[in-house]
């Protein structure tokens, strides 16, 4: 994550246009999506963010119990919370 953060910050510090894509995972809006969006709002305030809901359980996820929380699609409620949080931070999102 450090390398990605550093590279994104370098682009944003040069005031270049950028679109950042973030894949929302089921059950991870509060613990993962919110911190990522806070980081973007603080470090790349001009970035356009594509908040994505394309996650689908695949490969080992349906077969292994340790991935149980990821064995579903993202709900409309989770996506709504992610978008509302992003907009509350002043982030421009792609709808």
> 6-34, pLDDT tens digit by residue?
999 999 999 999 999 999 999 999 999 99
Residue 76 has pLDDT above 90, yes or no: yes
Q: Which helix (H) or strand (E) holds 37?
A: helix 34-43
The helices-and-strands tally (H runs, E runs) of the chain is: 3, 3
pLDDT of residue 94: 94
61 vs 95 pLDDT, higher one: 61
Residues pairing with 20 in the sheet: 49
* pTM attached to this predicted model: 0.92
Q: Where are the beta strands (DSSP E) in 1-95?
A: 19-23, 48-52, 92-93
Q: Percent helix, strand and coil across the chain, each rounded to 5?
A: 50, 15, 40
Summarised one tens digit per residue, pLDDT across range 37-62 is: 999 999 999 999 999 999 999 998 98
């Amino acid at each position: 994550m450090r390398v990605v953060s550093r590279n994104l910050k370098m682009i944003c510090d040069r005031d270049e246009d950028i679109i950042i894509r973030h894949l929302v995972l089921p059950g991870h809006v509060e613990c993962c999506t919110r911190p990522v969006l806070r980081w973007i709002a603080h470090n790349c305030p001009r970035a356009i963010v594509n908040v994505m809901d394309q996650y689908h359980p695949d490969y080992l996820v349906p077969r292994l119990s340790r991935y149980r929380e990821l064995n579903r699609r993202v709900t409309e409620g989770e996506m709504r919370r992610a978008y509302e949080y992003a907009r509350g931070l002043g982030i421009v999102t792609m709808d």
